[in-house]
Structure 1
């Protein structure tokens, strides 16, 4: 039905809120699937150690986790998308229902290794499904000096751009070299407690949103665009045959 108060809205693409889709009664029972990415290839990579610690916490919270090793991942445009490491990463993204991104801060920003992983995740659909749209995301960073939030701020921008449901909490660990013991386990303390907070929040948001993720990020503007593109194709004038 047309509404005179909003004449610029395309009525056939404008939908009332469907509470049945927001609050489904049929929900999956499998463990939340979380993919964890880190941003350094050093032998003792603190971003990797943080991710491994996060994975242990997530598993205790009832999640299934997988950690991607970026070693061997080519630069974007320096290899085809069928490169084995690219396919491994994309398959894991498709498998996941949520992600953790953890990068060191280098020169005031995330590392190239972290950005390369994100850049290999396409925005365009794979098999008709956008790889990241509607999945949850937690962001963390480590630094060698005093605490900074440059990298988590950048990761948050990327998460929004990738249409991920980026949770409010985040973790930034200063002087990371002093936060891990000789067995590469994170020491107890405020920084560790914050990591637990972030993983707990990620698990909750993933359980809360994974069933209705596609509906949550369904957009009026894209429904209008799809309708208009279809109309253009259907009404495209036929080519005039030449003698």
Structure 2
């Protein structure tokens, strides 16, 4: 039974709790879908963090296992070894997750450098593991002024580059400073309803794809390359 007691602005009877059995014939995996949330500002009252926290509450209510990476102390890319504690933490979470949600402020018409730095620390391949390939991704941004979509559009390109299954829906909250109360909770509004839409869709797409992601991203070119490497190894004379 889903618990919406900590979500006073949600009408539980109108929320569609995603059901993996309705999305595919195979039985859903035994564990809850796993989500990693990243945000793009270190301000003491960061609205991208507050929006990500609101999304985390919704994901939890919909049955997700949620972790949030706090980027304070993360070095700039290539300014520290990849054994740095924050880098190790971020990469471990990226491997653990089955889906992600990125939330950035729009700064100078773009995503923040902090959000980009987090992604830059996640390699396309780490040994035999590809931390992001085939995993789902949802995008949100907060705006200081009128509604814009520059940051989410840039992150969408970045998500595709990271070989992620980026869901169609997205959220952009205009004048974010007006959308959160003194308790740091998001106020009821059409913006809030859109956040619920995005979170629902992220859970649905994750349930739909997580068990078949390796097959969905299995590429002819990569199979061909692997076969050629195997053939070369077989052809080497034994010593």
- Aligning the two structures, in what range does the TM-score lie when normalised by the shorter sequence? 0.7 to 0.9
Report the Cα distance in structure 2 between the residues aligned to 1:224 and 1:23, rounded to whole angstroms: 30
Q: Give the match for residue 10 of structure 1.
A: none
Q: Give the match for residue 56 of structure 1.
A: 57
Q: TM-score, normalised by structure 2?
A: 0.87
Report the Cα distance in structure 2 between the residues aligned to 1:122 and 1:213, rounded to whole angstroms: 18
Q: Which one has a bigger Cα radius of gyration?
A: 1
Report the Cα distance in structure 2 between the residues aligned to 1:25 and 1:201, rounded to whole angstroms: 19
- Aligned pairs for 1:47-86 (under 5 A) are 47-86=48-87
Q: Are the counterparts in 2 of residues 179 and 187 from structure 1 also a CA contact under 8 Å?
A: yes
Q: Give the match for residue 123 of structure 2.
A: 122
Report the Cα distance in structure 1 between the residues aligned to 2:121 and 2:204, rounded to whole angstroms: 27
Please tell me the root mean square deviation across aligned C-alpha atoms, in Å.
1.7
Report the Cα distance in structure 2 between the residues aligned to 1:181 and 1:26, rounded to whole angstroms: 41
Q: CA deviation at 1:233?
A: 4.0
Give structure 1 stretches of 5+ with no counterpart: 1-21
Q: Are the counterparts in 2 of residues 24 and 211 from structure 1 also a CA contact under 8 Å?
A: no
Report the Cα distance in structure 2 between the residues aligned to 1:188 and 1:23, rounded to whole angstroms: 33
Q: CA deviation at 1:94?
A: 1.0
Q: TM-score, normalised by structure 1?
A: 0.85
Q: Give the match for residue 226 of structure 1.
A: 226
Q: Give the match for residue 190 of structure 2.
A: 190
Q: Give the match for residue 164 of structure 1.
A: 164
Q: Are the counterparts in 1 of residues 24 and 208 from structure 2 also a CA contact under 8 Å?
A: no
Report the Cα distance in structure 2 between the residues aligned to 1:204 and 1:176, rounded to whole angstroms: 27
Q: Which range is displaced more, 229-238 or 55-64?
A: 229-238
Q: Give the match for residue 112 of structure 1.
A: 113
Give secondary structure in 2 for the equivalent of 1:167.
Answer: strand
Report the Cα distance in structure 2 between the residues aligned to 1:104 and 1:131, rounded to whole angstroms: 24
Q: Are the counterparts in 1 of residues 28 and 207 from structure 2 also a CA contact under 8 Å?
A: no
Give structure 2 stretches of 5+ with no counterpart: 1-22
Q: Give the match for residue 34 of structure 2.
A: 33
Q: C-alpha deviations, 1:95-149, integer Å up to 9, x for none? A: 11100000001111110100000000110134x1210111110001111011111
Report the Cα distance in structure 2 between the residues aligned to 1:170 and 1:26, rounded to whole angstroms: 28
Q: Give the match for residue 8 of structure 1.
A: none
